[in-house]
Amino acid sequence: MTEPYAGSGAPAALPVCPRHPDRVAYVRCQRCGNPTCPECQRPAAVGIQCVSCVAQSAREHPTTRTVLGGRQGGQTPVVTLTLLVSCVLIWLLQRSSMGTEIFQRFALAPGIGWHEPWRFLTSAFLHGPLIHIGFNMLALWMLGPYLEGLLGRARFLLLYLISALGGSVAFVLVNPVNSMGAVVGASGAIFGLFAALIVLNRALGRSTGGIAVTLALNAALPILYPNTIAWQAHIGGFVTGLVLAALFAKVRGNAAAAYAGSAAVTAGLAALGAARYFLG
């Protein structure tokens, strides 16, 4: 590429990156106007900024967080949407010719849980009738964005998955260990979210009265569909959500303490499940 000549007839100096003077850079930072090489370019809302301007902007406008560790500012609830879409896509696959195989490979039955422990979590992504997934996904959409914004993505995902695990462990604890009666559904995780909403809102001095109807409808589903939805998972998920939410409320923005506590709760649930199999 030929560089234009200055008015005096002498060639203009090639633009170089201030951080890497040995590199020619024809792209300029939209903020400071300096040439910026590919290594120093950062996408911005409009155009490209250099790493120096991005760092300065971060210092001038630090990210604000909630007292529980989430980021303020209405970010897209990525985890909520990912969980919701995953459950819906898997449910659609269950309606296809692959449905029987998916159920047999990933649903949880106490008699096979010890040999295939991944079922304690995978069963939470499977569902029965339309009303089953409908109520669960409605509740996830109602609760998820708020809790994800309050806790942050990582802690929200831990809350969801560990509550699902708690629901599965409760199902195994109550049923015979050799039973082949299977359970599916995200109800344990959803009830964990209900519990967390109650605990966290009370810790922040906020009202929780608006969730009573949705909670009651979800609690009634095991009566309407006793062969598909297990009340044990509801209780297990709810209790697990209570414990995790109380932990998150206590440690507030201390991420290390939140993750360590989550690991301890997970280990406790695994120990309960293992004890059930060992003790029969």
Catalytic residue from among 123, 163, 187, 262: 187
Total residues belonging to the chain: 280
Residue 156: which of 82, 218, 106, 219 has the closest Cα?
Answer: 82
* 168 classed as catalytic: no
Does the active-site annotation cover 115? Answer: no
Active site residues: 187, 234
